[in-house]
Amino acid sequence: MASLRTKKLSLSGWGRYPHADTLAFRPERRPDVPACLPGLDGSVIARGAGRSYGDQALNGGGTTILTERLDRMISFDPETGRLVTEPGVTFASLLDVFLPRGYLTPVSPGTSYATLGGAIANDVHGKNHDRMGSFGDYVAWVELLLPSGETKRVSEQEDAALFRATIGGAGLTGIITCLAVDLMRVPSNAVDLTERRVADLDQFIALLAEARTNSTYSVGWIDALAKGRELGRGILETAELSATPIAAKPRRQLGVPFNFPRMALNSLSVRAFNQLYYNRVPAAGRQRHTGIAEFLYPLDAIANWNKIYGKPGFSQFQCVLPDATAPVGLRKMLEAVSAAGAASFLAVLKTLGRQGRGMLSFPMPGFTLALDFPRRRGTDALLAELERLTLESGGRIYIAKDSALSADGMAEMYPELSAFRMVLSEIDPNRQIGSDQARRLRLRA
């Protein structure tokens, strides 16, 4: 039981805002996990790599189970690609072990440091959502430690409601202690990448819509400070898996060694950075043969890039707007950001395909926009305005990234919230699992 020592920690998400004090357990082995459940008088939440941005993996005044040591891969079937593994395994470990053998997760988020437990809890999507759907689509089953102390295997066949509540369920249905996920075969470790400049929002929407059918991967980087005729300009990247391998590079990271001073980040410095990024790609565009990892995880090249926003941290906002309302809705959002002079580095614009199978899965067919805002006066007002615009367009906000959404907004955006709450009432009547986000968004009845 030496591994069950507890520690008081002050934790935050990747945005470094907000913070919460918690009692943390770091179990070394799966059999240790049940002993981390609190009694009836406290609440617990699992935490993976802390790559969700806001208060989702925070449990102020409660208990947190740190899952990073639960990182054993248990079995792999090369015929079917099925991997059985513990939840603390990261996408980076999967790359190290499986890419040289010709396998990849069909879906990956934009950082390789997220864990598979975290990927299930947010039903994460990648740059190929139109083609491949979200992470939960490839999860065959999960082993859940329920608040009752019972461990249960859950799948579409064995308790479909609990399974659908767990995919994208923000960690609230129990602690995932083991899971089975299907990897796909890839022809090499490389992609053929095409980069081109995009003049404005209308062109971006048209090109992304085209990429849905013509490209396996697509992602847009927008200069969120551009105004007027240049509103929504940026770089579009599309990519195809390549059969020609590339010499594997050791994973190297530049670091941000300290918090940037508040003054360093203003709209002038961000404008200059965004301009440089835009000009990086020649006017005629370019094609490159590059590593899958470099393409999927460009931000991982800079360790702790979240310190760029200084000590107060930052909030990320990500929404999806339906195809029909996106052109007008996105324009209004970019105008609001630009008018506020909110110093957002490159914003990300992508398309999403089908609705995910989790009750609270974020994806729906449409366009998704992600923006970062340093925490300062005016940030909350801007986030409230973006929530209003999301609702006006019939869209929804991604709770993996969120620290500001209102509970009413959540209920309006996620039509299956009441079904989700019913599952929680059944499996956790004493509210033993909880997070700051669940309380803020009233994810329980």
Q: Which residues bind ligand FAD (CB under 6 A)?
A: 14, 45-52, 56-57, 67, 87, 109-111, 114-115, 117-119, 121-122, 124-126, 170-171, 175-176, 299, 400
The nearest distance, CB 327 to ligand FAD, in angstroms, is 22
Closer residue to ligand FAD (CB): 108 or 242: 108
Could you tell me the CA-to-CA distances from 106 to 93, 131, 133, 256, 374 in Å, in that order? Answer: 15, 10, 9, 31, 33
Contact (Cβ atoms closer than 8 angstroms) between residue 313 and residue 265: no
Closer residue to ligand FAD (CB): 125 or 338: 125
Closer residue to ligand FAD (CB): 231 or 413: 413
Q: How far is Cα 243 from Cα 187, in angstroms, rounded to an integer?
A: 5
The nearest distance, CB 212 to ligand FAD, in angstroms, is 17
The nearest distance, CB 266 to ligand FAD, in angstroms, is 23
The nearest distance, CB 283 to ligand FAD, in angstroms, is 28
Q: How far is Cα 126 from Cα 79, in angstroms, rounded to an integer?
A: 25
The nearest distance, CB 297 to ligand FAD, in angstroms, is 8
Closer residue to ligand FAD (CB): 121 or 413: 121
**Percent helix, percent strand, percent coil in the chain, to nearest 5:** 30, 25, 40
The nearest distance, CB 274 to ligand FAD, in angstroms, is 18
The nearest distance, CB 282 to ligand FAD, in angstroms, is 26
Look-up: residue for tokens 């925070």? 58
Give the residue among 295, 14, 281, 278 at the shortest CA–CA distance from 128.
295
Closer residue to ligand FAD (CB): 52 or 393: 52
Residue 184: Cβ-neighbour burial (10 angstroms; 0-12, 13-18, 19+): middle
The nearest distance, CB 288 to ligand FAD, in angstroms, is 20
Phi, psi at 117, each rounded to 5°: -60, -45
**What does the radius of gyration of the chain's CA atoms come to, in whole angstroms?**
21
Give the residue among 45, 84, 60, 77 at the shortest CA–CA distance from 12.
60
Closer residue to ligand FAD (CB): 199 or 301: 301
Q: For residue 149, give every residue at least 6 positions away whose Cβ sits within 8 Å of its Cβ, in sequence order, or none.
A: 34, 37
The nearest distance, CB 359 to ligand FAD, in angstroms, is 14
The nearest distance, CB 250 to ligand FAD, in angstroms, is 20
Contact (Cβ atoms closer than 8 angstroms) between residue 255 and residue 304: yes
Q: How far is Cα 396 from Cα 389, in angstroms, rounded to an integer?
A: 10
Give the residue among 315, 300, 312, 298 at the shortest CA–CA distance from 370.
315
Q: In what order do the strands lie in the sheet with 139-145?
A: 73-77, 82-85, 175-182, 139-145, 151-155
Closer residue to ligand FAD (CB): 121 or 337: 121
Closer residue to ligand FAD (CB): 231 or 309: 309
Closer residue to ligand FAD (CB): 89 or 231: 89
Q: How far is Cα 300 from Cα 132, in angstroms, rounded to an integer?
A: 23
Closer residue to ligand FAD (CB): 231 or 443: 443
